[in-house]
Structure 1
Amino acid sequence: MITMKEVVREGNPTLREIAKVVTLPPTEEELDVLNKMLTFVKNSQDDELSKKYNLRPGVGLAAPQLGISKRMIAVHFEDSKGKIYSYGLFNPKIISHSVQLAFLGGGEGCLSVDRQVDGYVPRYARITITAVDLNGNPVKLRLKDYAAIVFQHEIDHLNGVMFYDHINKDNPFFIPEGAKEIEF
């Protein structure tokens, strides 16, 4: 079982590497790790389990956050309309995105960052991604608003990018023209 002890923190070099593509079909070990990543995200949102195992609540986890430089992410969350997104994905890739930007009004956080980082993180309001799921099926997801932001955050980890890299250094609360605020 993955706990916060396995989550590497900022400063770990793996968080700044471009993760390697997973050769498909994945190995049993890669499948096992991705299943455990998804279980961790689900457990972190369960009040009883997160308290018992001292887990910080999260909606996503990328393999580099475990010190594993492979293109694997796990996400589990419910959007404001009640739609559940629960995926373990190999080689997720953004294939298209909107011109319009969006940002979370409350800012973003990260399981690998143990400090508060204030500022808006502008991201694409809508994206389309392709990936391969835990069952080996190709998936294509069209995502918008909160879901698009979560997936971009995790895919950034695969490219050595931290959420705060997107924050305007001179004006952390700068809102790009036409960007929409997402409340969550």
Structure 2
Amino acid sequence: MIREVLKYPHPILKTPTQKVQDIDQEIYNLVQDMFDTMYHEEGVGLAANQIGVPLRIMVIDTTPRKDSQPLKLVLINPELVHAEGNIVYKEGCLSFPGISLEVERFSRVYLKALDLEGKEVEYTLEGFPAIVFQHELDHLEGITFIDRVKGVKRRLALEKYAKLQRAWTSSS
């Protein structure tokens, strides 16, 4: 089922999520809805709180990206174990339609999480998949990619986004 992606400044986007206690049918259904919604919106990653569910779950699928290794992950209660290197990448966000910003991230991340069967998994991600993971992990922490930008770039991005929101509101 495709769900509505919450748009900034919805308060749930600024609220840290809660750990998943039990992986049950409700979680399976939520994960399927997250993939359905992400694909519908043509995204490569989605955090549960972006669709209004304050749980520590993210889905990633970089397969559509020609410049990236194919990767499809369900990460429950993900944790960043270690990170290294730096990379700057122009990111977009389904919760900020129409905005893209250059954000500095780690170029390689080591993470652990639970998979959909409740087994602990560990991954090393590099490049684009590492960026997507960090972007979605930020969402789970109540941080948006615009929070990673400072000064005039941040102000200009927020002004552009407010202008886009006014245009959407007046056209609906």
Aligned runs of 1:1-184 on 2, under 5 Å? Answer: 1-3=1-3, 6-23=4-21, 25-41=22-38, 44=39, 55-78=40-63, 83-98=69-84, 100-104=85-89, 107-117=90-100, 119-170=101-152
**Greater share of helix:** 2
The answer on whether the counterparts of 1:97 and 1:124 sit within 8 Å (CA) in structure 2 is yes
**Partner SS state of residue 22, structure 1:** coil
Alpha-carbon deviation of 1:15?
A: 0.3
Alignment gaps of 5+ in structure 2 = 155-172
The answer on whether the counterparts of 1:38 and 1:87 sit within 8 Å (CA) in structure 2 is no
Normalised by the length of structure 2, the TM-score is 0.81
Inter-CA distance 171–62: structure 2 relative to 1 (3 Å threshold): closer
Task: Report the Cα distance in structure 1 between the residues aligned to 2:83 and 2:69, rounded to whole angstroms.
Answer: 21
Alignment gaps of 5+ in structure 1 = 45-54, 173-184
Alpha-carbon deviation of 1:84?
A: 1.6
**Partner SS state of residue 132, structure 2:** helix
Task: Report the Cα distance in structure 1 between the residues aligned to 2:52 and 2:113, rounded to whole angstroms.
Answer: 21
The answer on whether the counterparts of 1:103 and 1:149 sit within 8 Å (CA) in structure 2 is no
**Partner SS state of residue 108, structure 1:** strand
Task: Report the Cα distance in structure 2 between the residues aligned to 1:82 and 1:164, rounded to whole angstroms.
Answer: 24
Normalised by the length of structure 1, the TM-score is 0.76
Task: Report the Cα distance in structure 1 between the residues aligned to 2:151 and 2:66, rounded to whole angstroms.
Answer: 30
Task: Report the Cα distance in structure 2 between the residues aligned to 1:2 and 1:88, rounded to whole angstroms.
Answer: 17
